[in-house]
């Protein structure tokens, strides 16, 4: 029974009997659990070198693995880890995964339940070379979930000759947050939503290919990134997307079969030299989506080749700007608020 102060009327309401503390939630929370490296026979620990190493061979990880801070988690050629029964890897130490072209390091999930890889406040730079990720999903437990199958939070990383293939659930395959990164000579293929999502980070892409991205190929917010020799083919939403006061510089870019090839929004600026856009519904768009930011811009120098079926070459909101070789470009259609025709209204995909 309860009553509003100052009123005579007494009201009734059923109180849901939630426990003050959910013991099961606490018990299963990987963040609160102790490191458990010693539980796995396929891991070798060198306390002198402060290294934790996967033995070469095929291994099944059937429960979460938590790696403490102060080590390096290592793997060499011909190492394959099958994450099953909702297993994931949470590491407070940097990863040092070095496969070879003939024998890469592989993380996969034969039962399609894997909950990904998280590197959290690692205290050092991770290095991934010839590493392949297949069929992973996002970490999710009662009470929380992350957005990406592979996440680096405040943990710098270098990625070279790696493959990110066919994730199952989540907003992103690779998410890098508040850190620095480089990704080179690598492929993202058949991603459920965004292939790469960068939040408040600084980094670069070199010699990259993106195939069949469910949402965006490269999506950054509050970030400063550079791109060179990037090919993007088959995109459900945006090929390149810069938002929330980001800076993006690109050179030698090809985007095919995207809903929207290049997007700059919310005080962001995109500078590109030499770009080819083929069979994209919208080639370029720049607009303000969020009131707390401001107009955005796109600036293209060198070659800007548009070919195939392109419905709207330039979709430029009032107050925003775009230039080609220094000359202002007018919007192909007059739309005062661009977001009113994007995000699944007429073009692109609805925001999640």
pLDDT digits (tens, 9 = 90+) for 178-190: 999 999 999 999 9
Asked whether residue 96 is assigned to any structural domain, the reply reads no
Asked whether residue 348 is assigned to any structural domain, the reply reads yes
* Band (86; pLDDT cuts 50, 70, 90): very high
Scored b (16 or more CB within 10 A) or e, 209-247 reads: bbbbbbbbbbbbbbbbbbbbbbbbbbbbbbbbbbbbbbb
> Structure pTM?
0.89
Asked whether residue 215 is assigned to any structural domain, the reply reads yes
The radius of gyration of the chain's CA atoms, rounded to the nearest angstrom, is 23
Q: Is the pLDDT of residue 261 over 60?
A: yes
Q: Would you call 124 exposed, middle or buried from its count of C-beta atoms within 10 A (0-12, 13-18, 19+)?
A: middle
Q: Is the pLDDT of residue 200 over 90?
A: yes
Asked whether residue 171 is assigned to any structural domain, the reply reads no
Give the long-range contacts of residues 191-197, CB within 8 A, separation 24 or more: 191/164, 191/166, 191/167, 191/215, 192/167, 192/168, 193/352, 194/219, 195/164, 196/172, 197/147, 197/148, 197/171, 197/172
**What's residue 345's pLDDT?**
65
**What's residue 26's pLDDT?**
54
Cα–Cα distance, 275 to 250 (Å, whole number): 9
| Contact in structure between 166 and 198 (CB atoms under 8 Å) | no
Asked whether residue 133 is assigned to any structural domain, the reply reads no
Mean per-residue pLDDT, 143-148: 79
**What's residue 7's pLDDT?**
84
Asked whether residue 85 is assigned to any structural domain, the reply reads no
Cα–Cα distance, 234 to 352 (Å, whole number): 20
289: enclosing H helix or E strand: none
Percent of the chain whose pLDDT exceeds 90:
78
Report the domain count for the chain: 1
Residues of the domain holding 328: 193-352
pLDDT digits (tens, 9 = 90+) for 330-350: 998 887 777 777 766 677 766
Mean per-residue pLDDT, 293-303: 95
Of 84-98, 138-152, 211-225, 275-289, give the lowest mean pLDDT range.
138-152
Asked whether residue 305 is assigned to any structural domain, the reply reads yes
Across the chain, mean pLDDT equals 92
Q: Is the pLDDT of residue 19 over 80?
A: no
**What's residue 143's pLDDT?**
62
Of 2-6, 23-27, 173-177, give the lowest mean pLDDT range.
23-27
Percent of the chain whose pLDDT exceeds 70:
91
Asked whether residue 287 is assigned to any structural domain, the reply reads yes
Mean per-residue pLDDT, 147-152: 95
Q: Is the pLDDT of residue 76 over 60?
A: yes
* Band (85; pLDDT cuts 50, 70, 90): very high
Mean per-residue pLDDT, 97-126: 96
* Band (142; pLDDT cuts 50, 70, 90): low
> Tokens 């993380």 identify what position?
107
* Band (170; pLDDT cuts 50, 70, 90): confident
């Amino acid at each position: 029974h309860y009553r509003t102060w100052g009123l005579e009327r007494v009201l009734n309401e059923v109180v849901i009997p939630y426990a003050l503390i959910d013991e099961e939630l606490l018990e299963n929370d990987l963040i609160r659990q102790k490191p458990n490296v010693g539980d796995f026979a396929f891991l070798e620990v060198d306390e002198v070198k402060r290294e934790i190493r996967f033995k070469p061979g095929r291994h099944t990880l059937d429960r979460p693995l938590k790696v403490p801070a102060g080590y390096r988690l290592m793997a060499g050629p011909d190492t394959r880890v099958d994450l099953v029964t909702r297993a994931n890897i949470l590491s407070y130490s940097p990863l040092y995964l070095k496969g070879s072209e003939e024998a890469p390091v592989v993380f996969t999930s034969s039962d399609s339940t894997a909950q990904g890889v998280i590197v959290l406040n690692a205290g050092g730079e991770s290095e991934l070379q010839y590493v392949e990720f297949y069929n992973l999903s996002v970490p999710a437990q009662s009470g929380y979930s992350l957005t990406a199958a592979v996440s680096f939070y405040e943990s710098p990383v270098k990625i070279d000759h790696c493959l990110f293939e066919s994730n199952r659930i989540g907003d992103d395959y690779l998410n890098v947050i508040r850190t620095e990164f480089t990704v080179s000579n690598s492929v993202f293929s058949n991603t459920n939503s965004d292939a790469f999502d960068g939040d408040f980070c600084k980094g670069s892409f070199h010699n990259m290919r993106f195939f069949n991205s469910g949402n965006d190929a490269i999506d950054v917010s509050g970030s400063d990134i550079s791109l060179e020799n990037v090919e993007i083919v088959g995109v459900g939403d945006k090929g390149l997307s810069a938002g929330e006061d980001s800076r993006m510089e690109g050179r030698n870019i090809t985007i095919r079969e995207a809903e929207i090839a290049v997007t700059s929004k919310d005080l962001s600026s995109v500078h590109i030299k030499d770009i080819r856009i083929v069979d994209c519904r919208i080639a370029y768009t720049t607009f303000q989506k969020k009131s707390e930011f401001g107009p955005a811009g796109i600036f293209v120098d060198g070659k800007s080749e548009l070919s195939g079926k392109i419905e709207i070459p330039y979709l430029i909101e009032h107050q925003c700007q775009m230039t080609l070789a220094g000359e202002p470009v007018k919007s192909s259609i007059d739309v005062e608020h661009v977001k009113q025709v994007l995000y699944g209204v007429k073009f692109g995909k609805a925001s999640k």
